[in-house]
Amino acid sequence: MRGSVTDPTSAPGHRRARRAAGALAAAALMLPLLGAAPSDAQSSADGLQGAFASASAKYHVPQSVLLGVSYLQSRWDTHKGAPSVSGGYGPMHLTDARTALATASHHSEGREDARGDSARAALHPETRVPENSELPARLRTLPKAAGLTGLSAGRLRTDPAANVAGGAALLAAAQKDLGEPLSADPADWYGAVARFSGADDTATAAAYANDVYDVIRTGEERTTDSGQQVALAARPNLAPDTAQIGRTGLRTVSDEGTECPRSVSCEWIPAPYEEFGDNDYGNHDLGDRPASQSIRYIVIHDTEGSWDGVLKLVQDPTYVSWNYTLRSTDGFIAQHVKTKDVAWHAGNWYINAKSIGLEHEGFLAAPDAWYTEAMYRSSARLVRYLAAKYRIPLDRQHILGHENVPGPTTSTIPGMHTDPGPYWDWRHYFALLGRPFERTAGKAGGLVTILPGYSANQPVYTGCVTKDQPCAAHGSSEVRLYSDHDENSALIKDVGLHGNAASTIDVNDVGSRVSTGQQYAVAGHYRDWTAIWYLGQKAWFRNTRKNPAAVNASGFVVTPKPGLGSVPVYGRAYPEASAYPAGVPAQAVSPLSYSLPAGQRYVVGDRVPGEYYYAVTFATDSHRVVVGKDLYYEIQFGHRVAFVRAADVAVAPSRP
């Protein structure tokens, strides 16, 4: 489980903590993944490419269709038989969610304050997890494939060749159900591909099918996680029969009220803004963004639970909220809070007031609980749309993981969340965003962009299943930091997170690691090691020519102004006390337990005025956006971003 935000101290006259009345059946269908090791069963002797050819011939499905569908499901990876976040197995992502056990979502841990503002106390709803729930058809495709092929469910889960055959059988069955011939022309399979998505509405199914045919038109080639080379030849002139979508029998879902690009499927499932109890209300605040204040961040979360239960939680007026949820199986998007309004999701009120939160169906501490390509692509399209609409830069100081959001005060740092965690593929995600990370300078650039090869980069983590026990080996976006150029040296300390205690390699411990796309000032080199400035310390990571963990970059950095030994670091950019009008209590400008020492340099992001959104009542007439004269710089300080006062620092081009 990841960390959760600590309970801030409530102020007199401010909102009381409230427990949701009754147990929430809302946590239904919280499906974590089996901790048991997968079978070592292997694919056929011909390899995975041969498995696609064999299944194509046996079930009369065009090989390009099989390859295109599989790429969108898994990018042809097998994950050694481990299930995805929605209980999907193998390269065809055949779902068997009943193999998972019920648990609670992180949203119902009862410890977090996702709003992140001590002006109002946290809500701690009581929850329970039902012992059993009926699963939708999209989570039961593997048993159906077993019936069609005569292969056992166990073999379909663990043998990639059998899994491909099961996917082919499902596609052929869908084609027959539509009354279409088992044609050799991939253009004739649009309806079957749409059905294969598992979506129950035409918009989602069509968006999925369009993605599959985009893959077929452009072609793909890659080495899979099992070391096999798989290729799909491009068919640039392929034009599928999209009219088949009207014969699928799927329901029509209105996208009215949503703020989504046309290239995704989106439905309005609102988080309620309701008043209840003794002056309590939830689960977000009304606003007027971007007219009242700018939107500068998009925060990437994972749900720690499955689709159905998480949707019920966000519709609970006594709880918290986020703007969008994305479904793993097909990339479907539900919008819950308008982008003009402020959702309670990040644990830092300043970030909440300036951000949009996206929850992705997934589990941080399950390294093989893989995210589907369909969800990655849908998320990237949504982020591109939002970034363009609100002029949000596509970089890692504005597209944040929840784990990159700073604690607003020192006391909240240990409880801040750590999702989506080390297994979210930031490199692939930013390539889908159209902003791939790459070298932008020579050795004299003075900065590095963290950029390990995802699959080959497999640092050891613990605590995924059992405390202190190693997690399964898996590709990672993150790189570990040491106090010296030696892997036997101590890890970098995080005084805010651990005090004087050492950092650990626990999967939720972000105290001594950096993430793909983040940028840091270079502090030194020693053979195959690179040093950076991190949390006020010189931190080392291995960076070999054969397996580089970073590339050179350049930009601007901040350092303390001459004469200052160090400067304070803040978790939020709040105005000075004199900026607050009558009736709006001044918020403390309290530094964190870190400092930025003289001689050290940190990559600078936005230059912003201090800003605070006062919203503690249901009626909006008292809401105010307070903007100060003091300016701040956002910096990449550690694993999380932070802020320094512009008056304390000098800005200069990076240098070695």
pLDDT band with cut points at 50, 70 and 90 for residue 258: very high
Place of tokens 């300016």: 631
Residue 355 has which token pair?
Answer: 């951000």
Q: Please state whether beta strands 447-450 and 266-268 pair in parallel, antiparallel, or not at all (unpaired).
A: unpaired
Task: Count the domains in the chain.
Answer: 2
Instruction: Select from 135, 110, 132 the least CA-distant residue to 123.
Output: 110
CATH number for 206: 1.10.530
Mean pLDDT of 180-194: 97
Measure the CA–CA gap between 249 and 251, rounded to whole angstroms.
Answer: 7
173 is in which domain, residue-wise? 25-108+114-247
pLDDT at residue 29 above 90? no
Please say if the pLDDT value at position 20 is more than 70.
no
Examine residue 570 and state whether it is found in any structural domain, yes or no. Answer: yes
With 70 as the cut, is the pLDDT of residue 465 above it?
yes
Which pLDDT belongs to residue 551? 98
Burial (Cβ within 10 Å: 0-12, 13-18, ≥19) of residue 485: middle
* Alpha-carbon span 344 to 64, nearest angstrom: 44
Tell whether 577 is covered by a domain: yes
Last residue of a domain, one of 224, 247, 270: 247
Note if the bond before 283 is cis, omega within 30 degrees. Answer: yes
- pLDDT of 193 higher than 80: yes
With a pLDDT cut of 70, the percent of the chain lying above it is 87
Last residue of a domain, one of 189, 222, 247: 247
Structure tokens at 492: 């970098």
Answer yes or no: is 273 within a domain.
no
Peptide bond into 83 cis (omega under 30): no
In a domain, residue 594? The reply is yes
The per-residue pLDDT for 101 is: 36
CA 349 vs CA 346, 354, 571: distances in Å = 8, 9, 10
Asked if residue 460 belongs to a domain, the reply is: no
Does 303 reside within a domain?
A: no
**Distance between CA 379 and CA 430 in Å, rounded?**
11
Residue 304 — very low, low, confident or very high, per pLDDT cuts 50/70/90? confident
Confidence label for 209 from pLDDT (cuts 50, 70 and 90): very high
Instruction: Please choose, from the candidates 193, 225, 211, 194, the residue with its C-alpha nearest in 3D space to the C-alpha of residue 76.
Output: 225
CB neighbourhood size of 456 (10 A) = 10
Beta strand pairing call for 513-515 and 478-480: antiparallel
Residues 489, 502 contacting (CB under 8 angstroms): no
Task: Classify the phi-psi angles of 615: left when phi > 0, otherwise alpha if psi is within -120 to 50, otherwise beta.
Answer: beta
Instruction: Please check whether residue 482 lies inside any domain of the structure.
Output: no
Nearest C-alpha neighbor of 302 from the set 105, 95, 26, 103: 105
Domain boundary among 193, 227, 247: 247
Cβ-contact 639, 537 below 8 angstroms: no
pLDDT at 319: 84
Strand-strand pairing, 297-302 and 399-401:
parallel
Residue 576 lies in a domain: yes
Low-confidence winner among 7-11, 147-151, 280-284, 547-551 (lowest mean pLDDT): 7-11
pLDDT at position 115 = 66
Q: Coil, helix or strand for 199?
A: coil
